Chains A and B, each alone.
Chain A
Amino acid sequence: MLGRIAPNSTPIQAEMIAYSGMVPKVGDYVVIDSDESQLLGMISGVVRGALELERGDLLQANYYDTILKVVGSPSDWLKATIRMVGVLSNGELVGLPRAPPPTGALVRRAPADLLRGIFAPPHGREGIRLGRLLTRDDVVVHLDPDELISRHLAVLAVTGGGKSNSVAVILEEIARMGGVAILFDVHSEYTGMSLDCPHCQVETVDPVLDPNTLTLEELGNLLRVSYDNAPKQFIYLKAAYRSARELLIRERLSEYLDRADIDAERDDMLAGMQAVIQLSLSRDREEDRYLLNFPSNDRGSIESLLAKIDFVRSKYGRVLKPAAGELVDHLNYGKLVIVDLGQLDSDLTDVVVGKTLYTILMRAKLRRIGRGYDDFPVPVLAVLEEAHALIPSTERTYTSSAAASIAKEGRKFGVGLCLVSQRPKRLNSDVLSQMVNKIILRVVEPDDQAYVRRATEFLSEEMTSYLPSLNVGEAVVVGPMVRIPALVKVRLFAGKRGGESLRAYDMWREGLRRRLSASPDEYYDSIGG
């Protein structure tokens, strides 16, 4: 027995006065004897005091000494705030309470068996084994994969809080079940990741973009040419795009490439556009319906468009590969695809991620309505690291449009989204609020806390105030993927992952040892004589 309910309880929250000597822990679960049923609650805050010492003017500990000398041990009192998380009927969770618990009702610690049942995998299936309850290491917490995919997930924490580890744990479990996932690895944190299960497969792929599959909008994004910021250039871009596309279909592209003397793959549409524009600008051009017609005062615009295309081609040459296929072609059951974006700049990253997300959604849709892509593997989870950079609150990026579409429609077609971020405040709030499931690890910055709190239904002000004090890997887990909110100690990913924290001391010692054991000559050679 922990205590009894104090007056002024509500169906949402109640205060408990503890029995003497009882010290409940924040995050632990309690069962309250209510009128007909029992209520399940979570301790969201604890306050403690001693009557004898409660005076504002005792501003030196010496006074405490004197008082303790007189009274012996002080009259320890303890008050806990309890958030209601459900009604229990015959040991089963049935919805949320509608009436407050009666004042004086007995509060007991929830039995471990009850909690094990609540956090067990969905009946007759497997669950995602995330970790254990922080306050009960004998209760394992499973996530429901159906709810995770259909209601999406946000993983939020300060850097080093344990986000990537949580993601690795979840992805491993998904692959183990035969699930499908793609991870956009912005900082090459997961390269070299391996999963510890016989049928699991991890494939790290370099990002490639087939210029021939780019839409006009995607091209515009890459070139930073849109109808809004450069209408003329956009109009000529559109014309060149049409011409190059038609030439490609009529297999006449290489003819134009030769004429413009451009060194490129024979079917590179972007190179083809460059050829078309270049030829259009030449002084001795012939009449040709594939070339651009323009009044002389638009020449400047077209020249800068040409320069941009040239620039993008040379800069992104490694990534832009005709007929390279799509990243999503790598998806398969029981497999994790890691897209290593570490080398790309943000513009290209935006296009690669946005395009891949749109492609996934489109294929899943077409498959669903029976218009092809029958063997496109679904449901699929797409994970975005550094989501605040890709889906910022300040501007609309290509990726944010794609993410918004998945957030809205993904559920119907089996496409789930997982956003990972250390700056939640900079993350687009519309998109974040649709990530109904959340794993919130340590969050320190007050603005971030406030933001997370606004975007999270269960999180009380009091619980938010505990976020800075969470240890690495300790998380508040909310959303339909768990039946009740939980404070979880996420388990450490068992397999190998790339981005674990550096161990500075060990690496320095090792480096120094090597330097000292090398012969002086070798050493001087290595530093250039």
Chain B
Amino acid sequence: MKVESGLPFETIEEALVGARERITSLIFPRGGMEGEALLSVIRREWRSGIEDGGLERIGAIDGSSNSDYLTLGQVIFVTSASLFMRDSEPVVARKYQIGVMDDFHYRDRVASCRETMEVKMALRSLDLRPEIVLMDGSFLAMASRGLWATPYGWKVPHHMRRILMAVESSLGVGLTGGLISITHQIDTARRLEELVRSLLEEEKGTPPDKDEIRRAVAFVERYESLLSLNRLLSQGERVLIAIAKRSGSRSYFNHRLPDMELVRRYTGQEPGYLAPKVLELRFPDYSGIGRGYRITLTYARLERGTNPLRIEIVGEVSDQRLEEILGSLAGFSVKGYPYHLRRVHELTKVGRDLMMHLAKNLMMPEISGRERLGE
């Protein structure tokens, strides 16, 4: 609608009129295999029924994070990682990391801090000699979240390689050790910033601006996470399993609909799983981690009438081993989801109430008021 000024004053309905059809076609695209053809492809891969498995020592790892944006331009964050393992007695472990960072891409950076902790907790869990360790999510996604994971995009400046090397030697610790993210730890974070500043200045001959420093620091943070993941994958063959309830991945069927959705729609109600596919996990070029890993991928419905899960196992596994794993998961599942993961999720969750409790009761009553943005 035009008003006197000649400028539009639209209603949302007016905006939708022109766009509706295109939006619908994007949400529900047509094309690719349909109907019977699609069905037969899926049915060909589907294996009905899951026999009981005999694994007992099952560990589960999960992490969580939350943050509060302060009006002063900083972010208080809490990340956690936990372990639940059922042996003769349940074993539990939990570690929190609390810190402050500037608001530069803070959501991604908090997530990467959490991921680092999860990976390190999983590394430690291997010492307990579990038969399998379950993690929440996807190894492939963890490694290849490149586009968002580097503050530079894919084109990483050459000098960053040099900086990475220098950081590891000058911090004096292995980045993959311990249970928390070293680069996010408050003291090392400060040292890291200084170090990056001087390395950048050395590199360019002029003092770097603030934004450049922040980018480089974020890069190092991400590097710690990938380095730890690399170590974990190298030790966890045939033991480490990542399980996702939701996934948009299309790497199994290469159809316009996500694999998960196809399995959900076209495999009926009964338990079963897709014939495993082996995929290659590669770290991003810039990370300097040359090694790749094989990942066995399947989708499985563990209990009648429940939603399927996406399941990745590190390494190539035999059918027999896969059946044993799926059978054991099914035996410990509630509503089609392994209860170990559910339990560890509850242990580790950093919810709003915990953040409120932290701000209001424990840490800094002074930041609970004025400086906090009501979220």
Partners in one complex: yes
Nearest CB in chain B: distance from A64 CB, A: 9
Determine if A506 is an interface residue (Cβ-Cβ < 8 Å): no
Determine if A263 is an interface residue (Cβ-Cβ < 8 Å): no
The interface residues of chain B lying within 8 Å CB-to-CB of A369 are none
Nearest CB in chain B: distance from A57 CB, A: 6
Q: Is the interface of A mostly helix, strand, loop or mixed?
A: helix
Complex Cα spacing A71 to B340, Å = 8
Are the CB atoms of A66 and B332 closer together than 8 Å? yes
In the complex, residue of chain A having the shortest beta-carbon distance to the beta carbon of B332: A70
In the complex, residue of chain A having the shortest beta-carbon distance to the beta carbon of B333: A66
**When A51-B346, A70-B339, A70-B343 are in contact, do A58 and B334 touch as well, CB less than 8 Å?**
yes
The interface residues of chain B lying within 8 Å CB-to-CB of A51 are 346
Complex Cα spacing A58 to B332, Å = 14
Determine if A492 is an interface residue (Cβ-Cβ < 8 Å): no
Are the CB atoms of B86 and A70 closer together than 8 Å? yes
Complex Cα spacing A57 to B331, Å = 18
Nearest CB in chain B: distance from A492 CB, A: 49
Nearest CB in chain B: distance from A433 CB, A: 45
Complex Cα spacing A70 to B86, Å = 6
Complex Cα spacing A227 to B90, Å = 84
Are the CB atoms of A71 and B332 closer together than 8 Å? no
Determine if B107 is an interface residue (Cβ-Cβ < 8 Å): no
Are the CB atoms of A72 and B343 closer together than 8 Å? no
Are the CB atoms of B340 and A70 closer together than 8 Å? yes
Are the CB atoms of B334 and A71 closer together than 8 Å? no
Determine if A1 is an interface residue (Cβ-Cβ < 8 Å): no
Nearest CB in chain B: distance from A169 CB, A: 53
In the complex, residue of chain A having the shortest beta-carbon distance to the beta carbon of B331: A66
Are the CB atoms of A69 and B343 closer together than 8 Å? no
Determine if A324 is an interface residue (Cβ-Cβ < 8 Å): no
A53-107 residues at the B interface, CB under 8 angstroms: 57-58, 63, 66-67, 69-72
Determine if B211 is an interface residue (Cβ-Cβ < 8 Å): no
Are the CB atoms of A71 and B333 closer together than 8 Å? no
Residue from B90, B331, B335 in contact with A72 in the complex, judged by beta carbons closer than 8 Å: B90
Nearest CB in chain B: distance from A102 CB, A: 15
Determine if B10 is an interface residue (Cβ-Cβ < 8 Å): no
Contact with A along B312-345 (1 / 0, CB 8 A): 0000000000000000000111110001100100
The interface residues of chain A lying within 8 Å CB-to-CB of B339 are 66-67, 70-71
Centre residue among B89, B335, B339, B343 by max chain A CB count within 10 A: B339
Determine if A374 is an interface residue (Cβ-Cβ < 8 Å): no
Determine if A52 is an interface residue (Cβ-Cβ < 8 Å): yes
Are the CB atoms of B332 and A72 closer together than 8 Å? no
Contact with B along A276-308 (1 / 0, CB 8 A): 000000000000000000000000000000000
Are the CB atoms of A66 and B90 closer together than 8 Å? no
Are the CB atoms of A52 and B343 closer together than 8 Å? yes
The interface residues of chain A lying within 8 Å CB-to-CB of B86 are 69-72
Residue from B89, B332, B335 in contact with A69 in the complex, judged by beta carbons closer than 8 Å: B332
The interface residues of chain B lying within 8 Å CB-to-CB of A67 are 334, 339
Nearest CB in chain B: distance from A201 CB, A: 70
Nearest CB in chain B: distance from A74 CB, A: 11
Nearest CB in chain A: distance from B117 CB, A: 23
Nearest CB in chain A: distance from B133 CB, A: 15
In the complex, residue of chain A having the shortest beta-carbon distance to the beta carbon of B88: A72
Other A-B pairs, 7, CB within 8 Å; known A52-B343, A70-B339: A58-B334, A63-B335, A66-B332, A67-B334, A70-B86, A70-B343, A71-B343
